[in-house]
């Protein structure tokens, strides 16, 4: 039961770590002038940010799938386990949606001011 208490938090823990990584990459890219380095049709800064965005969404999707399997595993074990499994699943899906929405500006917003 004690390990299951973390299920509802896993999605947003991953979301928070990804937020810090993306924010750090944004700051580093501006500080080191990655925007001036061309890589094909885009600059290095945008390439790094879009790559991190895609990796982040993939990790959040994997976390949501893992939480869905945990929800199915815990089903029928009793009310607290059922509730934690379901809360974990919905938390993971909410974190995935939040990641898609909140990180999407790296796709089109100016990288440095």
pLDDT tens per residue, range 13-41: 999 999 999 999 999 999 999 999 999 89
Model's pTM, two decimal places? Answer: 0.85
Please count the residues of the chain. 113
Does residue 64 lie in a domain region? yes
DSSP letter string over 52-103? HHHHHHHHHHHHHHHHHHHHHHHTTS-HHHHHHHHHHHHHHHHHHHHHHHHH
Distance CA 76, CA 67 (A): 16
Confirm if 74 and 3 have CB atoms less than 8 A apart.
no
Does residue 45 lie in a domain region? yes
Does residue 49 lie in a domain region? yes
The total number of structural domains in the chain stands at 1
Does residue 72 lie in a domain region? yes
77: pLDDT confidence band, cut at 50, 70 and 90? low
The parent domain of residue 85 ranges over 3-107
Distance CA 113, CA 105 (A): 14
44: pLDDT confidence band, cut at 50, 70 and 90? very high
Confidence check: pLDDT of 73 > 90: no
Can you say how many angstroms the Cα of residue 17 is from the centroid of all Cα atoms in its chain? Answer: 8
Does residue 112 lie in a domain region? no
Does residue 113 lie in a domain region? no
Does residue 24 lie in a domain region? yes
Does residue 82 lie in a domain region? yes
């Amino acid at each position: 039961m004690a390990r299951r208490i973390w299920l509802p938090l896993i999605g947003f823990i991953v979301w928070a770590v990804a937020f810090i990584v993306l924010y750090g990459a944004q700051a580093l890219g501006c500080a080191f002038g990655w925007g001036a380095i061309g890589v094909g049709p885009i600059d290095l800064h945008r390439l790094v940010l879009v790559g991190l965005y895609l990796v982040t969404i993939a990790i959040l999707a994997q976390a949501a799938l893992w939480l869905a399997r945990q929800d199915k595993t815990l089903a029928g074990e009793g009310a607290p386990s059922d509730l934690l499994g379901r809360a974990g699943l919905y938390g993971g899906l909410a974190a995935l949606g939040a990641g898609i929405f909140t990180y999407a500006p790296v796709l089109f917003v100016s990288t440095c001011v």
